[in-house]
Amino acid sequence: MKAIKNMKLITENGVVENQGVIFDQRIQEIVAENQIGPGMEVIDVGGAYLSAGFIDIHIHGCAGYDVMDDDDHAIRNIARHLVTKGVTAFLPTTMTMEFSRIKRALERIRKNMTDSAQYAQVLGCNLEGPFLSRKYKGAQDEKYIRQPDFELISPYLDVIRLLTIAPEEEGSIDFIKQAVQSGIVVSIGHTNATFNETTKGIEAGASHVTHLFNGMTPLHHRNPGVVGAALWHDVTCELIADNIHVDPAVQTILLKVKGEEKIILITDAMRACLLADGEYDLGGQKVYVKDHQAKLSNGSLAGSTLVLNEAIRNFMTNTGMKIEDAVKMTTLNPAKLLGIEKQKGSVTPGKDADLVVFDQNLNIMMTIIGGEKVFTMA
């Protein structure tokens, strides 16, 4: 048995001090520090913050690796690097390519879901494409975009946890219903839908919006579009808080409208994340990274180089939000979206001992997965 003490503990109800967290593979108890028993391995974190591990539900790659790489080690290497940024679980996210490439990626993700290595846990797949709009394709390759076909994904219902769809495309509504009935969280994104078309998708079961404001019809006072529908309806919204994809003022407006429980911070990171400026690729297309901005040759944004602890820090700075509330957007909120809040998302007895220690500036000091240290800041 192990214990952590001398911390600011972020719980579902705020920050508490003078407490000890006792754990093995799962969190066993939260007790007063003076009740930590003898014989335990005690970790003194020197007054730093302790929270549940971060969950990134939308990430394509980092450190030179991409989910779509035909490389059996790529996803594990992504997972290995993510723990240095406090991420303890994630959804490897695909791109719109030949469906044979997507199938191979799904098979690799499936294999990594059962990997017991002490890296960030692969929770399943975020299928971004190919059932998208050509008009709002973003960095998705237009020639591989296709109309929804549930038969294509039916062999992978054990792998796909989240998928993006354009609800205005022919067959989308029936597809959404089938996907939701199969336990998949359906997200609206890369879409040219109107407010009403988006509403029909939500009424069919879509409950999430992919990287809000990016890759969708904007809010206009005579045409509220997807953004208007996302703000109006009771859906969760992803946000890339790198201050490139969405202006800080708009981030603050979003918080005021949606509230902290309906926002999930993501990275949408691609392989250049954690690396220097230069030429990379995403979904088979060249990407040019300069000053932390990843763009195609036509100027379209192509993912990000963001890491999740920086996303929290940026959002706090932009909105004035308390650290414990911002952290929820990478812990409890994504856990609830995926239906795993009984296992992950907060420091609560009975949940997995996936924990992260960080200072007031969100610099990661230690990451623990399943009760084992997997990263300690040098």
Positions marked active-site? 268
Cα 296 to Cα 155: distance, rounded to the nearest angstrom: 33
Q: What are 206's two structure tokens?
A: 């879509």
Question: Residue 247 is which amino acid?
Answer: D
Q: What are 341's two structure tokens?
A: 């809040």
- Residues across the chain: 378
Residue written as token pair 């932009």:
318
Kindly state the DSSP code that residue 284 receives in the 8-state scheme: T
Cα 210 to Cα 223: distance, rounded to the nearest angstrom: 20
CB atoms within 10 A of CB 25: 12
Give every CB contact of residue 34 below 8 A, 6+ residues apart in sequence: none
Cα 364 to Cα 171: distance, rounded to the nearest angstrom: 45
Of 227, 248, 243, 245, nearest in space to 295 by CA: 245
Dihedral over alpha carbons 261, 265, 268, 271 (to 10 degrees): -140
Cα 327 to Cα 264: distance, rounded to the nearest angstrom: 10
